Amino acid sequence: MPSDLALEGGTPVRSKLLPYGRQWISDDDIAAVVATLRGDWLTTGPAVGVFEQALAGVTGAADAVAVSSGTAALHAAMFALQVGPGDEVIVPVMTFAASSNCVIYQGGTPVFVDVDPQTLLIDPAEVERRITPRTKAVVAVDYAGQPADYGALRTLADRHGFKIVADAAHSLGGSYRGTPVGAVADLSTFSFHPVKHVTSGEGGAITSNDPALAARTRMFRTHGITSDARQREAAGSWFYEMVELGYNYRLTDFQCVLVTSQLKHLGEWVARRQALAARYDAALQAFPWVSGLGHLPGACHAYHLYVARLDTDRLSVDRARVFAALRAEGIGVNVHYIPVHLHPYYQQNLGTRPGDFPRAEAAYEQILSLPLFPMMEDGDVDDVVRALEKVGRAYAV
């Protein structure tokens, strides 16, 4: 008997695709950008500092530095910690490639580790096994928006003398044991890509409670020069010095006003993401073949992603087929992530191989990111659940 799946000729749950993530741009955001475009400063102007103060306020960090992307933020963090040839930085494999690429930009060596099988967060026990005298830092990825186990990581960092960088691209608005993300690690990096919590189109930032580290990232974003154009104008001076090799990683003023305006909604949007995630959690109880990920005690989850994990033993098909079936129903599922060590670049340059990190690889065969963004309605979640019901009817065993 044919199923009622759209993939097999049935009527789709939705005629228009529900994306997995989407930005929310208000008229206020647009007005702020337009006003800046009409003003004097398109870049290196006052909007940069205003945004940095707003982000420091939200995260409780002493300082924030705006840069042109989350990737630039990670690169700046590696520069701030003086990662260089011979240095090792421990990175979990269940992440976007930028989390480890930044180590290579600085000439350092990423040392990959496996993740906790329940949460898919970096596993401190695996970190401990890979510490050497060359370990300079760990990049803790707050996968899906759940802060990593910073308590355990801090114990290791203090004992062995390395620093903690939070790749907090997913977790703005979350907290760990009551401390907001951004003020927990030595350096935290954020992305303002449109799928993330707040956006500037492209954009990123670094936060830190350490003024020296923050100052190094600020210098790095502008060529390694010790003052910016506005400071020089204020001082009536032409003189500047390039003291380190930096980049142009600046964020424009119109992007800064956009993300500052977005930031006003952060609390409300994270709460909405959490409510939608709770609706998924409750609905998935009905399906023995799929569940949400585990929770870490003390971590307040900001839900960039809602990651569902298939129990493929209870299905007659693989994840690829479930993915195709849900897409055919008009549900924009996605997969986060292909474990970094499996990318051809890493296999060719670092000699990593399939089988190196069995927990992340097993998870990779089973995960699906379900649509999640603050503008989603409860009825959209119900559509996803209806599509999952159809998958279950067709493929659950």
Total residues interacting with ligand PLP, rule: CB under 6 A: 14
What's phi and psi for 287, nearest 5 deg? -115, 110
Q: Collapse the DSSP code of 339 into the 3-class scheme (helix H, G, I; strand E, B; otherwise coil) and give the result.
A: coil
Rounded to an integer, what distance in angstroms lies between the CA atom of residue 13 and that of residue 2? 17
When the beta carbons of 5 and 169 are compared against ligand PLP, the nearer one is 169
When the beta carbons of 71 and 119 are compared against ligand PLP, the nearer one is 71
Catalytic pick among 136, 163, 196, 390: 196
Q: Which stretch binds ligand PLP (CB under 6 A): 18-26, 91-99, 104-112, 269-277?
A: 91-99
Q: How far is the CB of 100 from ligand PLP (least distance, A)?
A: 10
Q: How far is the CB of 334 from ligand PLP (least distance, A)?
A: 12
Q: Which stretch binds ligand PLP (CB under 6 A): 34-42, 90-98, 117-125, 215-223?
A: 90-98
Among 23, 36, 44, 95, binds ligand PLP (CB under 6 A): 95
Q: Which stretch binds ligand PLP (CB under 6 A): 40-48, 165-173, 180-188, 207-215?
A: 165-173
Rounded to an integer, what distance in angstroms lies between the CA atom of residue 156 and that of residue 10? 54
Q: What is the DSSP string of 2-59?
A: --S-GGGTS--S-SS-B-S------HHHHHHHHHHHTSS-SBSSHHHHHHHHHHHHHH
Binding of residue 169 to ligand PLP (CB under 6 A)? yes
Q: Are 311 and 322 in contact (CB under 8 A)?
A: no
Tell me, yes or no, if 390 is annotated catalytic: no
Rounded to an integer, what distance in angstroms lies between the CA atom of residue 18 and that of residue 276? 14
Q: Which stretch binds ligand PLP (CB under 6 A): 96-104, 224-232, 279-287, 313-321?
A: 96-104
**What angle (nearest 5°) sits at the alpha carbon of residue 94, between those of residues 93 and 95?**
95
Among 204, 246, 339, 371, binds ligand PLP (CB under 6 A): 204
Among 47, 66, 77, 98, binds ligand PLP (CB under 6 A): 98
Q: Are 189 and 166 in contact (CB under 8 A)?
A: yes
Among 171, 175, 191, 208, binds ligand PLP (CB under 6 A): 191
Q: Which stretch binds ligand PLP (CB under 6 A): 36-44, 163-171, 237-245, 387-395?
A: 163-171
Q: How far is the CB of 69 from ligand PLP (least distance, A)?
A: 4
Size of the chain in residues: 397
When the beta carbons of 193 and 265 are compared against ligand PLP, the nearer one is 193
Q: Are 96 and 74 in contact (CB under 8 A)?
A: no
Q: Write out the E strands in the chain.
A: 63-67, 88-92, 109-113, 135-141, 163-167, 175-176, 179-180, 187-191, 204-208, 290-292, 299-300, 306-310, 367-370
Q: Collapse the DSSP code of 322 into the 3-class scheme (helix H, G, I; strand E, B; otherwise coil) and give the result.
A: helix
Q: How far is the CB of 192 from ligand PLP (least distance, A)?
A: 7
Residues with Cβ within 8 Å of residue 212, at least 6 apart in sequence: none
Q: How far is the CB of 251 from ligand PLP (least distance, A)?
A: 11
Q: Is 229 left (phi over 0), alpha (psi -120 to 50) or beta?
A: alpha
Token couple for 80: 């701030």
Residues with Cβ within 8 Å of residue 324, at least 6 apart in sequence: 7
Binding of residue 96 to ligand PLP (CB under 6 A)? yes
- Site residues (CB under 6 A) for ligand PLP, limited to 58-87: 69-71
When the beta carbons of 196 and 390 are compared against ligand PLP, the nearer one is 196
When the beta carbons of 170 and 341 are compared against ligand PLP, the nearer one is 170
- Site residues (CB under 6 A) for ligand PLP, limited to 125-144: 141
- Site residues (CB under 6 A) for ligand PLP, limited to 238-297: none
- Site residues (CB under 6 A) for ligand PLP, limited to 99-128: 99
- Of 268, 210, 250, nearest to 81 by C-alpha is 210
Give the catalytic positions in this structure: 196
For ligand PLP, the binding residues (CB under 6 A) are: 69-71, 95-96, 98-99, 141, 167, 169-170, 191, 193, 204
